[in-house]
A = this chain, B = another copy of it.
Amino acid sequence: MKTVSESRAFGGVQGVYSHPSALCDCDMTFGLFLPEQAEDGPVPLLWYLSGLTCTHQNAMDKSGAQRWAAEAGIGIVFPDTSPRGAGVADDAAFDLGQGAGFYVNATEDPWEPHFQMWDYITDELPDVLFSAFPLAEVAQGITGHSMGGHGALTIAMSFPGRFRSVSAFAPICNPTASDWGRKQFSAYLGKDESAWAAYDATLLMRKRGFDGPMLIDQGTADQFLDLLKPEALAEAMAARRQGGSFRMQKGYDHSYFFVSTFMEEHVAFHAAALHA
């Protein structure tokens, strides 16, 4: 593992690290904030999965999460959203290929050799983090924005017991029924839609839900509401009697101004579960 940079931030350290990924068959970069409390021993870990076009850097720079994580004594990891590099397949569209991994394991050409983001986030990166940093594997939460909200919700529901809490900012809620999903799943997973269901938060909510607290925020002025389909997940949560809050935030759009506005409450929400 290579240290790309380390900056003091809010009494802790905002680092950027890169490591060779066997699963993605390329170097992968991530950001990690460790609060001052990590000097004294392992701290809880909050995963922040980013959206389309983002690298490890966007949320690290713009979400304001570190302020609240420092106060709560929680680490935050900011993974990249896809494999990258000259030898990695890509597409001219912003919503396919590099920057748009969609947190799935691709089975189709040309994506399969590198685009193994599901396993990267749930298997390989945890190994890296828990072996190299003072992080408490027993105290994990997960959140994300847009495509990253989709990732957070689907991963949380697919690994019962691993995450104590899950939240999302304007998640892609029902990708198998949206152009943010159908296009990418066709490319990464092939035409057989039965393979898609494991990566759809609404379908997973209908099937099994999440054993812990859940918090979703969605702006009412979001320019992508038709693609995000919050109504599908809201309905599924209520129908399952899933414990949690689905909040429609009046006037907010899809930007990081929306994310940063509600970040304090999301970190506090996770902190309550992680320190319980």
| Chain A interface (Cβ < 8 Å from any Cβ of B) | 7-11, 14, 61-62, 64, 66-67, 219, 221, 251-253, 255-258, 260-261, 264
- Judge whether B62 and A61 touch: CB under 8 Å: yes
Consensus secondary structure, chain A interface: mixed
**Which residue of B8, B10, B14, B251 is within 8 Å of A221 (Cβ)?**
B8
Inter-subunit contact A9/B62 (CB<8 Å): no
Of the A-B pairs whose beta carbons lie under 8 Å apart in the complex, a sample of 20, sorted by A's number, is A7-B252, A7-B253, A7-B255, A7-B257, A8-B219, A8-B251, A8-B253, A8-B261, A9-B257, A9-B258, A9-B260, A11-B261, A62-B62, A64-B64, A64-B67, A66-B257, A66-B260, A67-B260, A67-B261, A67-B264
Contacting residues, chain B, for A67 (C-beta < 8 A) = 64, 67, 260-261, 264
Scoring A9, A61, A221 by chain B CB atoms within 10 A of each residue's CB, the highest score goes to A9
Residues in chain B near residue A219, CB distance under 8 A: 8
How far does the Cβ of A6 sit from chain B's closest Cβ, in whole Å? 9
Identify which of A61, A66, A221 gathers the most chain B CB atoms within 10 Å of its CB: A61
Contact of A257 among B14, B251, B258 (CB under 8 A): B14
Tell me which residues across on chain B come within 8 A of A264, comparing CB atoms: 67
Oligomeric state, in copies:
2
When distances are taken between beta carbons in the complex, the residues of chain B under 8 Å from A257 are: 7-10, 14, 66
Contact A252 B61 (CB under 8 A): no
Instruction: Specify which chain B residues have a CB less than 8 angstroms from the CB of A66 in the assembled complex.
Output: 257, 260
| Nearest 6 Cβ contacts at the A-B interface | A9-B257, A8-B251, A7-B257, A64-B64, A8-B252, A7-B255
Most buried by B among A62, A252, A258: A62
Q: How far is A253 from B13 in the complex, measured between Cα atoms in Å? A: 11
Task: Establish whether residues B61 and A256, one from each chain, have CB atoms under 8 Å apart when the complex forms.
Answer: yes
Residue of B nearest to A257 (CB): B9
> How far, in Å, is A65 (CB) from chain B's closest CB?
10
Chain B residues closer than 8 Å to A62, beta-carbon distance: 61-62
Q: Which residues of B contact A9 (CB under 8 A)?
A: 257-258, 260-261
Q: Smallest Cβ distance from A266 to chain B, in angstroms?
A: 14
User: Who on chain B is nearest to A219 by CB?
Assistant: B8
Minimum CB distance partner of A220 in chain B: B8
